[in-house]
Amino acid sequence: MILRRFFDAAMAALLLPPLAPPARPFAHARFSAPLYPGAIPISPRWSARRACLLSNIANADLNTFPEEQSEIIFVGTGTSEGIPRVSCLTDTSKTCEVCLKATQPGNKNRRRNTSILIRYANSFGRFNILVDAGKFFYHSALCWFPAYGVRTIDAVIITHSHADAIGGLDDLRDWTNNVQPYIPIYVNKRDFEVMKKTHYYLVDTSAVVPGAAVSELQFNIIKEEPFIVHNLKVTPLPVWHGQGYRSLGFRFGDICYISDVSDIPEETYPLLEDCDLLIMDALRPDRSSSTHFGLPRALMEVRKIQPRRTLFTGMMHLMDHDKVNEDLSKLNDTEGLDIQLSYDGLRVPVKL
DSSP per-residue string spanning 102-171: HTSTT-TT-B-B-EEEEEEEETTEEEEEEE---TTHHHHHHHHHHHHT-----EEE-S--SHHHHTTGGG
Specify whether domain 68-350 bears CATH 1.10.10.60: no
The 10s digit of each residue's pLDDT in 209-257 is: 887 889 999 999 999 999 999 999 999 999 999 999 999 999 999 999 9
Q: Residue 68 — pLDDT band, cuts 50, 70, 90?
A: confident
pLDDT at residue 29 in the model: 38
Tens-place pLDDT, residues 144-166: 999 999 999 999 999 999 999 99
How many angstroms from the chain centroid is the CA of residue 250? 15
Q: What does the alpha-carbon distance between residue 74 and residue 184 come to, in Å, rounded to a whole number? A: 20
Q: How confident is the model at residue 37 (pLDDT cuts 50, 70, 90)?
A: very low
> What residues does each domain of the chain span?
1-16+44-57, 68-350
Share above pLDDT 90 across residues of the chain, in percent, rounded to a whole number: 78
pLDDT score, position 17:
39
Among 2-11, 164-173, 193-202, 261-270, the least confident range: 2-11
Q: Tell me the pTM.
A: 0.84
Provide the 10 A C-beta neighbour count for residue 127.
19
Across residues 178-194, what is the average pLDDT? 98
